[in-house]
Amino acid sequence: MPVAIVTGGSRGIGRAIAERLGADGATVVVNYQSNRSAAEQVVATIERSGGQGVAAQADVADPAQLRGLFDSAEERFGGVDILVNNVGTARFSAIAEATDEDYELMFSINARATFVALREAANRLRDHGRIVVVSSGVTATHRPGAGLYGASKAAAEELVRVLARELGPRGITVNNVLPGAIRTEALAAARSPELTEQIVVSTPLGRIGEPDDIARIVAFLASDAARWITGETVHAGGGLF
């Protein structure tokens, strides 16, 4: 039974991914920052489907806590086979109006925390493991107001492409997934209903995505069926980008 760490696994896309991997037979370490109750609900769902999971607190912006997440997984389950890096934060503004604080916040979480997670995975994953980074479709759409956010996510995407080459000899695959607009609390907070409707109209498949749409893609990339796919970026925006 493979052991998977899902960062940001207590809600939204991360929750759907954790539950899907659990249903597919993985033992899932469900990372959360502050809402233990939500993470335990995810674990309960995994266990009802016949899987095994555990809630694990860590602020991934803190390198020591992120390393501790891997330590806990190794101590409890003997090793790690899958990392799904699914954390991020966003602030939107024109570049001319962005602040130094905006830059530090987004690059510390979206770029540096991803770097630390990938470095730990590179040193700790068992051979033939899987790494999937959940990025953002803004790196492909270049939307005004998303410059800093997109740049911080794009930095992580470059790390993925290089790491795929470095870990290839060990049979470890490393891939990116770029979600478009997904029905989550974060989407509702960041975009008005009018803007969401504009996205729906512009999307060839005629809707916004659901967390399970992304979870299915991640689960495929984390499976043996995707053993010949690495260094790739999957555009998961319903045809929008």
CB 234 within 8 A of CB 177: yes
Catalytic residues: 149
Contact 211, 183 (CB under 8 A): yes
Gyration radius of the chain's alpha carbons: 17
* H or E element, residue 54: strand 52-57
Distance CA 55, CA 58 (A): 10
**127-145 burial, b if ≥16 CB within 10 A, otherwise e?**
eebbbbbbbbbbbbeeeee
Question: What is the rounded (10 degree) CA torsion for 177, 35, 33, 22?
Answer: -40
Q: Residues 6 or more apart from 40 whose CB is under 8 A from it? A: 55
Instruction: Please give the Cα distance from 187 to 193 (Å, whole number).
Output: 10
